[in-house]
Structure 1
C-alpha cells in the first residue's frame, strides 16, 4: 500500500529555515515600529497585512535582519523564490558567517532545483563548519538529487572515513543504488545494515521496505516476521506488514495489522491520522469507511486527550452520517486545544446543518474572537444568525467575511455573496440583495442555490419576472429532482399569470416531497384559486393551516376567513 507506508528517512534532509538571528545593534525606529506591527498581524493570521508591513519595514531599513528573515519566510511559503533568494543573499551580505542564512538559501535552491548553486552553498557551509557531518551529508544528498551518483557515493566514502560508520550511510547508498536500478547492490547494502545493527528494528524495516519497493511483498513479510519476534513493541513493523498484505490483496490481514499498530501508543498520532486518510483513498467507500471508523475509535482510545485525534474521529463520524458523535468529538477536541481553526470551521458547519443555531452562534462568537480574520468562521457565524432571523447581526458578520475572504477562493466568495443576498432581502435592501446575487453568479453562473433564491425573491417582489423565470428554469435543468426549485418555478409562473403551467410544476414538487411544507400546500391553493377551483383552493389552504409553522401566517388565515386569494 504505497500511501500507507512510512519510510524511515535516515539521510538528513536539507534544513528548513531556522528561527534564530544574531542580535542587531541599530535599526531605523520607524522600521522597527512597522516590524512590531507586522508581527502582531502575523500572530493573528492576517498574513496580507503582515507581509505589507514587513515590505515597508525593509524598504525603510534594508539592514533590518528580523524583518528580512520573516519576509523571506513568507515569500518562500508563497513560492516567490526569486524574492526569497534576494532577501537571503541580503542577509548573507549582512552576516556572512551566519549559517542560518546560508541554510535558508539552500532551501530556496533545493526548491528551485538549482543544484549547481545548492552545491556551492554546501561548500561554503562545510568551510564554516568543517566538523559538522550534517553539511557533508547534505552535499552528498544534493549530488544525488543532481543525479551525479558516482560523486555522491565518493563523498559518502569520505564521510565514513572522516566521521565513522553511521545509519544514514546505509540508507543513502541504498537509495542511490535503487535510483540506478541496481537492485542487487541495494539489497546488499540493506543486508550490510542488518549485519551492522542486528539488535535494532530500523534495519529490518529498511530491508522490508526495499523488498516492497522491488515488488516482493512475501520477502518483506519474512523479514518483518523475524523483526516482530525480536521487537514485539515496534509500532512500525505491523504498519509495514499492513502494507505488504495490501500488496498481496489480503485485506483482512491488513486490518488486523493496522488495529495492532493503532493500539500502540508509541506510534505518533500524526502517522496514525495520515494512515486513516490514506485508507480512505485506497479502498472502496464502504470498506474504507468501516476500517476508518474502527481505527479512529482505536485512535481516540489510545490518545483520548489529543485534539487532533478527536478531530479526526469527528470527521470520520461526519462522513458516516453520525452527526451527534461527530459533534461530541469536535467539542471535545476544542476543549483540549482551541487553536485549530479548521476544527472550529467543521463544528460550525455541522451545527448549522443540524439546525443547532444557538450552539453555532455561541461557538461562532468564541471562534471569531480567536480567529478574527478567518472568513470561513465569519461566514458560518453570520449564517447561523441569518437562519435564526437575526438579520442585522448576520449582516455584520457576513460583510466582515467578505472583507476578509481571499478573492481567489471563488467557492467561498459565492457562499458569502449568496448569504448576503438572502440577508439583504430580509432587511428589505432589495437593490443591494440583487447586486450580491449578481456577484455570486459572476463567479458561478450554474450555482443552483443562488439561481433559485434570486428567482424566488424577484418573484415575491414581482420584479424582473422574465429573468426570474430564466434563472429558475436553469436551476431545474441542472437539478431536475429538487422540490424546492420546482416550487420556485411554479411561483414565478404564477406571478407571470401562467397558472396552468404553474399547477404542473407545483404538482411535481408535491409529488417529490415525502412531507410537503405548509408553503408548498398554500401555493397550490393559490394556483387553484386563480384557475377558478375556489373550493379546492380553500381545501388546500385549510390543509396548510394544519402545519405548526403556519400559526403566524396571517395572510393564510385571511385567505381562509375571506375565502379568497390575498396578495
Structure 2
C-alpha cells in the first residue's frame, strides 16, 4: 500500500474507535453532498476504479483508492461500507465492524448497511448487538421476512426464548404454518417443560399436513419422552397405517418396542427396516455394530443378529461394509472359514483398507491356510509396501509352505520397517527358523543370538536354539545353559525337559539325562514319539538295551517313522540321528 494512504487509513481507524463509542450522538440522516463538480468527477473516477480492483481481488490497491475517495468526501458511507467488506475478506473482523458501524451511521436509510453490520456482529459472537440492529430494522419495516428468522435464531442462541416465541408466532402470521417454525416452537416448549404446547405444535402440523406421516413419529417421540408409552404406541400405529413401507418408520417403532421390552416385536420391525432400501446402509451397519455386544447375552439374540445380517447382505450384496460387519460377527463366534470368505469378498473391491487385509491374514493363519495367507499377504504388500506385519505374515506362510528362500527374503525386507521390540523378536524367530531349515547354521545362530539380545527370556527360542545345537553337537555348554533356563522357568513342560535331557545326552551325562527324560515322560512326554525315542536312546547308553528297544518300538507306534528309528529297532542298536530338520 502507498504510504500516504496508509497514514490516512491509520488515522481513520483510530478515529473510528472514538467515533463508534458515541454512536447515539451522531447525526441520524445522511449528510448533504457538498462536493463541487471537479471533486465529484474525481471521486466518481476513483470510486469506480476502487470497485474494479476489489472485484479483481487486488485488495491493497482497492483499499488505497477508497482511502483516497475519503480524502475527497469524508462523509461517504459507501466507502466505509466497501472498506468494511475488504477487511472482512482479509479476516480483520474488528476493523470491518468499525468501518461498517460508520457506514450505517453515515447513511441511516440504507438497510443493507445495517444487515451487513448485524452479520459482522454475529461473526464476532456479539449476538445481542446483532439482534438489536435487526429489531430496529423490523420496527421500521416488516417486509424483510428472512430477518424474522434471523432474529428468532439470535433470541434462541442468547436464551431469550419468550422473545423467540413471539417472533416465531409473527412469522407464522405472515407465512402460515410450516414445519420449520412449528418444530422450533415445539423444541422451545419442550425445553421449558411445557409439553402440552409442545404436543399442540405437532398436532397442528398433523392437521395442516395430514399426509405427512413423519409427524406421527415426532408426536410419538414426545409421548415417549414423557413416559406416556400407550399414547406413543397409538401414534406409532398410525404412523405405520399411513406409511407401512417406510423403513425409517419401522426403525422408530422397533426402538419403541425396545423401550417397552418387547424384543420379538423389535426384531420383527428391524427385519422390515433392514430389507428396506430407503434406510441407509450406514445406519444399518451402525445398528449392528451397536448390537454386537448385546447379541452375546443369549443364543436367541445371536440368532437374531445373524438373521439381520443375512437380510442386510441380501439387500446390499455389493456393499463391502456389509460383508465387513458380517465377518466381524463370524470372527467373534470363531466361524473363521466363513469370516475368511467374507473378508475375501471385501478385498476384491476394497484394496486400500489396511485393517481389512490384516484381519484376513490373521484368520488365514488361524485356519492354517498358509497358501491363501501367502498369496493374500503378497498382494497386500503391493498396496502397503511399508507395513511390517504384511512381511511377517508372508514370511510365516512361506516358511510353512517350505518356501524358505522366499520366507527369508520377505522377513529380511520387513525388518527394515520394524522399530518395536516384540515385533522384531517375531521377525527374528521366523528368520532364524528359516535359516535353520536350509542348513544355514551360522546365519541361524547369529539371528537367534540377535533375538536373545532383545528378548533374553524367550523360552521358545532358547529351547529350539539349544536343541538345534545339540543335534549338531555344537556349542553344547551354551545349549545346556539355555535349556536349563527353560526348565527352571517351566519345570513341567515336557518339551523343554526333553531338550535339556537330550543336551545332557550329547554331553554324555547319561545318568542326569535319564532322570530328566523320565520326568519328561511323567509330564506327558509318553505320547510324543520323539521324546519316547530319546528315552530309548538314553536307556541304551546306560546299558539297558532291552528297555531301549521297547521304547523305540513305542515311538514307532506313536507315529515315529524316521529311517534312523527303524534301523535302531531292526539292529537293536543305537544309531546317531542325522535327520537334523
Asked if these proteins are the same fold (TM beyond 0.5), I'd say yes
Is the contact made by 1:398 and 1:416 (CA closer than 8 Å) also made in structure 2?
no
Distance of 2:444 and 2:513 partners within structure 1:
28
Which of 451, 463, 477 pairs up with 1:456?
463
Distance of 2:382 and 2:577 partners within structure 1:
47
Is the contact made by 2:357 and 2:380 (CA closer than 8 Å) also made in structure 1?
yes
Aligned to 1:365: 378
Aligned to 2:326: 313
Larger Rg: 2
Is the contact made by 2:396 and 2:430 (CA closer than 8 Å) also made in structure 1?
no
Task: Sort the Cα spacing of 1:540 and 1:417 in 2 relative to 1 into closer, same or farther, 3 A.
Answer: same
Aligned to 2:445: 430
**Does the residue aligned with 1:339 lie in a helix, a strand or coil?**
coil
Task: Sort the Cα spacing of 1:429 and 1:240 in 2 relative to 1 into closer, same or farther, 3 A.
Answer: same
What whole-Å deviation, never above 9, does each CA across 1:134-192 have from its counterpart, x for those lacking one? xx99x969987xxx6x2588669768978977756666666676677776666556555
1:274 aligns with 2:295: no
Distance of 1:559 and 1:153 partners within structure 2:
101
Task: Sort the Cα spacing of 1:397 and 1:501 in 2 relative to 1 into closer, same or farther, 3 A.
Answer: same
Is the contact made by 1:153 and 1:173 (CA closer than 8 Å) also made in structure 2?
no
C-alpha RMSD of matched pairs (Å): 4.9
Matches within 5 A, 1:405-424: 407=420, 414-415=422-423, 417-424=425-432
Is the contact made by 2:513 and 2:538 (CA closer than 8 Å) also made in structure 1?
no
Task: Sort the Cα spacing of 1:494 and 1:334 in 2 relative to 1 into closer, same or farther, 3 A.
Answer: same
Aligned to 2:390: 377
Aligned to 2:72: none
Q: Tell me, which stretches of 5 or more residues in structure 2 are unaligned?
A: 1-56, 58-86, 94-120, 135-143, 436-442, 470-475, 505-511
What whole-Å deviation, never above 9, does each CA across 1:431-489 have from its counterpart, x for those lacking one? 43343355468xxxxxxxx844123224313536556555566568xxx9xxxx54235
Which of 487, 500, 504 pairs up with 2:495?
487
**Does the residue aligned with 2:523 lie in a helix, a strand or coil?**
helix
Is the contact made by 2:537 and 2:574 (CA closer than 8 Å) also made in structure 1?
no
Matches within 5 A, 1:267-346: 267-283=279-295, 284=297, 286-346=299-359
**Does the residue aligned with 1:233 lie in a helix, a strand or coil?**
coil
**Does the residue aligned with 1:226 lie in a helix, a strand or coil?**
helix
**Does the residue aligned with 1:429 lie in a helix, a strand or coil?**
helix
Distance of 1:505 and 1:119 partners within structure 2:
81
Superposed displacement of residue 331, structure 1: 2.1
Task: Sort the Cα spacing of 1:219 and 1:397 in 2 relative to 1 into closer, same or farther, 3 A.
Answer: farther
What whole-Å deviation, never above 9, does each CA across 1:98-133 have from its counterpart, x for those lacking one? 9xxxxxxxxxxxxxxxxxxx9756779x99xx99x9
Distance of 1:292 and 1:438 partners within structure 2:
49
Distance of 1:169 and 1:523 partners within structure 2:
89
Is the contact made by 1:455 and 1:492 (CA closer than 8 Å) also made in structure 2?
no
Is the contact made by 2:463 and 2:482 (CA closer than 8 Å) also made in structure 1?
no
Is the contact made by 2:288 and 2:305 (CA closer than 8 Å) also made in structure 1?
yes
Distance of 1:260 and 1:434 partners within structure 2:
62
Aligned to 1:233: 245
Q: Tell me, which stretches of 5 or more residues in structure 1 are unaligned?
A: 1-24, 26-91, 99-117, 408-412, 442-449
Equivalences, count? 427
TM-score (norm 2): 0.59
Is the contact made by 1:379 and 1:416 (CA closer than 8 Å) also made in structure 2?
no
Aligned to 2:255: 243
Task: Sort the Cα spacing of 1:388 and 1:234 in 2 relative to 1 into closer, same or farther, 3 A.
Answer: same
Task: Sort the Cα spacing of 1:167 and 1:471 in 2 relative to 1 into closer, same or farther, 3 A.
Answer: farther
Task: Sort the Cα spacing of 1:183 and 1:358 in 2 relative to 1 into closer, same or farther, 3 A.
Answer: same
Superposed displacement of residue 262, structure 1: 1.6
1:563 aligns with 2:574: yes
Which of 255, 262, 266 pairs up with 2:267?
255
Task: Sort the Cα spacing of 1:339 and 1:182 in 2 relative to 1 into closer, same or farther, 3 A.
Answer: farther
Superposed displacement of residue 227, structure 1: 0.9
Distance of 1:141 and 1:510 partners within structure 2:
81
Matches within 5 A, 1:477-556: 486-492=494-500, 495=503, 497=512, 499-510=514-525, 518-519=529-530, 521-522=532-533, 525=536, 534-545=545-556, 553=562, 556=565
Distance of 1:354 and 1:471 partners within structure 2:
29
Distance of 1:436 and 1:539 partners within structure 2:
40
| Between 343-352 and 387-396, the greater mean CA deviation after superposition | 387-396
Distance of 2:226 and 2:449 partners within structure 1:
61
Answer 1 or 2: higher relative contact order, Cα 8 Å, separation at least 6.
Answer: 1
Task: Sort the Cα spacing of 1:269 and 1:143 in 2 relative to 1 into closer, same or farther, 3 A.
Answer: same
Task: Sort the Cα spacing of 1:289 and 1:385 in 2 relative to 1 into closer, same or farther, 3 A.
Answer: farther
Distance of 1:208 and 1:471 partners within structure 2:
68
TM-score (norm 1): 0.60
Superposed displacement of residue 386, structure 1: 3.0
Distance of 1:234 and 1:518 partners within structure 2:
67
Distance of 1:177 and 1:522 partners within structure 2:
86
Task: Sort the Cα spacing of 1:321 and 1:281 in 2 relative to 1 into closer, same or farther, 3 A.
Answer: closer
Task: Sort the Cα spacing of 1:266 and 1:431 in 2 relative to 1 into closer, same or farther, 3 A.
Answer: same
